[in-house]
Amino acid sequence: MHLASATDAPALGSVLPMAAPPAPEPGSTAPLADRFGRVARDLRISLTDRCNLRCAYCLPAEGLPWQPREQHLTADEIVAVARVLIDLGITTIRLTGGEPLLRRDLPEILAALHALPGLEDIALTTNGVLLERQAAALAAAGGARLNVSLDTADREQFRQVTRRDDLHRVLAGLTAARRHPELGPIKLNAVALRGVTEEALGGLLAVAASVDAELRFIEPMPLEADRHWSPDDGLTGEQLRTLLSARGTLRRLPAPPSATAQRFELGAGGQVVGFISSVSEPFCGSCDRLRLTADGQLRSCLFSHDETDLRAALRGGASPEDLEALVRDAVWRKPQGHGIDQPGFEPPQRPMSAIGG
């Protein structure tokens, strides 16, 4: 079952060559690969499209019309999809959103995922606002490596970027998470915003050091709901490294081929900083990710224009073999690249918050 987008515009690089072979059949021993030879290993599951912040590069101030909750996959449906994908070779799952800590059954989902054989790693991306209250329950459910999003450690800058005065809650959440080894190692993710990050660097490095977290900078991508992105909104990894080199020597760390971040040690203390420069230095050639939206749509690329409706399949009584066929076909059609730098690039219809970051 392949649902084309409403516009039916093909994603750049996603048009199948005329004589392209079909995806491997269900039951095949072939890896879960696309037609360019990339093998899917990493699944991002969005648990909700709702968020309790309104970051200017993501959501409008007034929020969005949220999806009705009955459209969201239930915990059992999420685990059923995860089981099929793990059997096909997925080894890492990241829970995200929207804000995943808004999902009340998050500890149950986490515990059920931990019980699946074959899953090697579970991570969770959160803005940290609700972390102080939930850290113990998440740890008791088996835990997850935490990525906490924090663009600045300055209260006024935080209020301007997120449109909420919640910096103290994020910092309290980080402190609470540190008490639970099941939630580590922690990473801090900062969107590299021109006009914000230059001033925020010192504070972010200090917070990261205080909780022993790697600090990573993410280039803003054209995934915001109100479509105002420009390539000049962000700082590239190279620009950030120039700024950081005033604080100490940067020494590059080795990275596996599928790594999205370029990592460096900074200065004599060796604080680790990473740069995820999806726009200026795309890593589509080694992308091993799939995404499942909160409403059960499988996407092979953040920027693709098509989705595969696993929710309809699940609720229509699809067998694991039926799901496998849908998944293999969706992966097979993964676009070659995001195409942001190509003429005619059209961002996806869903914003980041509704896909899962």
For position 166 contacting ligand SAM by CB under 6 A, the verdict is: no
Could you identify the residue written with the tokens 């799952």?
93
Choose the binding region for ligand SAM from 51-59, 60-68, 79-87, 237-245 (rule: CB under 6 A). Answer: 51-59
Q: Of these, 161, 186, 266, 352, which contacts ligand SAM (CB under 6 A)?
A: 352
The answer to whether the CB of 77 falls within 8 A of the CB of 314 is yes
Q: Closest CB to ligand SAM among 151 and 324?
A: 151
The answer to whether the CB of 215 falls within 8 A of the CB of 276 is no
For position 127 contacting ligand SAM by CB under 6 A, the verdict is: yes
What's the full length of the chain, in residues? Answer: 357
Alpha-helix residue ranges (DSSP H) falling in the chain: 75-87, 106-114, 131-140, 155-162, 167-178, 197-210, 237-244, 310-315, 320-332, 352-355
DSSP state of 102: G
What DSSP letter does each residue of 106-152 carry, written as one string?
A: HHHHHHHHHTSTT--EEEEEE-STTHHHHHHHHHHTT--EEEEE-S-
For position 221 contacting ligand SAM by CB under 6 A, the verdict is: yes
For position 196 contacting ligand SAM by CB under 6 A, the verdict is: no
For position 51 contacting ligand SAM by CB under 6 A, the verdict is: yes
Site for ligand SAM in 88-117 (CB under 6 A): 96-97, 99
Using CA atoms, how far residue 139 sits from 68, 132, 187, in Å, is: 29, 12, 16
Distance between CA atoms of residues 170 and 184, nearest Å: 16
Q: Closest CB to ligand SAM among 220 and 348?
A: 220
Choose the binding region for ligand SAM from 12-20, 120-128, 256-264, 266-274 (rule: CB under 6 A). Answer: 120-128
Counting residues that bind ligand SAM (by CB under 6 A) gives: 21
Site for ligand SAM in 277-296 (CB under 6 A): none
Q: Of these, 143, 220, 237, 348, which contacts ligand SAM (CB under 6 A)?
A: 220
Over its C-alpha atoms, the chain yields an Rg (Å, rounded) of 20
Q: How far is CA 79 from the centre of its chain?
A: 18
Q: Closest CB to ligand SAM among 109 and 326?
A: 109
Minimum distance, C-beta of residue 49 to ligand SAM, in the bound complex (Å): 10
For position 191 contacting ligand SAM by CB under 6 A, the verdict is: yes
Binding site for ligand SAM (CB under 6 A): 51, 55, 57-58, 96-97, 99, 125-127, 149, 189, 191, 218, 220-221, 223-224, 352-353, 357
